[in-house]
Structure 1
Amino acid sequence: MSGFRLDARDVEILRILEAEGRITKAELATRINLSPTPCWDRLKRLEKAGIIAGYGARVSLRALAPHVVIFVAVELETHKTDQFQTFEDAVQEIPEITACWALGGGFDYLLQVVARDIDAYQRLIDRMLASDIGMARYYTYIVTKPVKAPSPLPYAALDLPPKD
């Protein structure tokens, strides 16, 4: 993204798309006060720069199926580069792990796991421990209720160009 600068219209495009992903290109152009072609050009530029990483729907897991969400703090056996890579490669192949963050500090990784129930979660952990991915210890935190769901980015806190 070197040399790429966002202006207020770019930021507004991002705000609108994040809230209303199914908006038509014509409506988006109207809302940011541009004609369709320049709006489309801006959209393509944001996509090409990787600022818009993709489009999708927010699915209500609660409405879809019974489940449990679990956060797992993981410590690895060693802190060698190949150990981190082995673990990260393994995580990519486990569909129940819906998110993974590498951490600085006490734990090496924080995983978000979605499983049918606690038994299914424990079977997953047992498989991970039995495999050779370097897990030394894990700490389980079961989500009892969502308090704040993923929300739009805090644009104002990111020091981006303000709305005109």
Structure 2
Amino acid sequence: MKSWKHNHAVFQELIVIRMEEGPMLHLLSCSSAKDNWSKLKTVYDKKSAVSIHLLHQKFFSLNVGNETASAYISKIEEIRNKLEQAGEELSDKMVITEVLMQLPDEYKHFRYTWESVSQDKQTLEELTSRLLIEEERCKVSEGATAFRS
């Protein structure tokens, strides 16, 4: 029993001395190595409920802003992949809906056109392709307008 207590204390000390100040704050209330490990797993495990919740928040709050369509969709796909690695699935329809909702007002005609696409062709790949084409059209149109000025 004495050996176990010694090993336990050594293990707990190893966990603590290798920590930076930020993560250390999570361990202040822990009284054993097991508690330390459980707390660290809860905080840093990519499959934890907290991590999944934060990824969902990031997914639904991501704005297009001044980004290109391809950069925005890449970020959406990155978050989706992280969610899938954590065991959470986001359907294509959910991703498509979020992308369409976040498009700036200049793309309202694109949204209307997308609604007329047959259901079997409303895939994320098709949306991405059409969105990139539309983005190029907008760039060409802006360039033509600037050229005329």
- Relative to the length of structure 2, the TM-score reads 0.31
* Max Rg structure: 2
- Relative to the length of structure 1, the TM-score reads 0.29
Structure showing the higher helix proportion among its residues: 2
